[in-house]
Amino acid sequence: MSSSEILCRQQALACLRVRLLWLVGCLGLLLTAVAVWGLLAVDSANRRQQEALAAATQLLGTVDEVRQAQVTFKKQVQEWKDVLLRGGNAADFATYWAAFESEDKEVNDDLTAARAELAAMQFSTALLDKFLSSHATLDAAYRAAIKHYVPGDAASMLAVDRQVRGMDRGPTDLLDGYVADLVAASKTRITQMAETSQQDVDFDKKFREVLLLAVTAGIALAVVFSVRSLARVEEILEGGKGA
């Protein structure tokens, strides 16, 4: 065998070695990329599910706040009646009026906080705003009327009651309506969150399946290429021996 033929065979072997090394390197990079992507995909899916769970938990908590304020408002109206009916002496009047003011503050504080949270979550607060406005009007009417109340005087009790009689119905209807709308809207929102989360999971699953098929096809092609390359190496080596 001439020196030129030997050189050609050496160059051919070197070329095959480079191709094999390149192929192994590409497969290694591909497998590494798949592993990294898989970890990132799992982390991303978990994070999205945690965010959806946190958002749903916050929403349910805010809805509970509004429903509790609904109950507190009804208690406030009852406290007003107790002031008139049972505040016949200074001590009882002070007790029931303090309870009335406590319920009043709780309603305002809870609904003001809930309104900010609901607005941040892009829920409508128009009906809630109407309630807060009507509640402020009712408060002002209660406080103006109580100035004419004389503990133990039945006539003053009836006169004060007539000044505000029926005024609680409007705010009650507004708050009841808002709570009903909010509960329905929150159920819809939570259902949408669950559907979106499931869609993300399904997409990730399908993408992984496609990627797995691509990796499998790549490995199969690599095996075929390797076998052919090894066969070529044997041919070159056999040719060198024969020479």
Taking Cα atoms as reference points, which of 184, 147, 185, 186 lies closest to residue 163?
Answer: 147
Task: Identify each DSSP E strand in 190-231 by its residue range.
Answer: none
pLDDT value of position 237: 55
What pLDDT digit, counting tens, does each position of 197-209 carry? Answer: 777 777 777 777 7
| Angle at 26 (CA atoms; ends 23, 30), nearest 5 degrees | 140
Q: Is residue 24 over pLDDT 80? A: no
Task: Please state, in angstroms and rounded to a whole number, the distance separating the CA atoms of residues 116 and 138.
Answer: 22
Taking a C-beta distance cutoff of 8 angstroms, is the pair 182, 123 a contact? yes
Which of 12-16, 60-64, 126-130, 141-145 has the least mean pLDDT? Answer: 12-16
Which region holds residue 122: left if phi is over 0, alpha if psi is between -120 and 50, else beta?
left
pLDDT grade for 5, boundaries at 50, 70 and 90: low
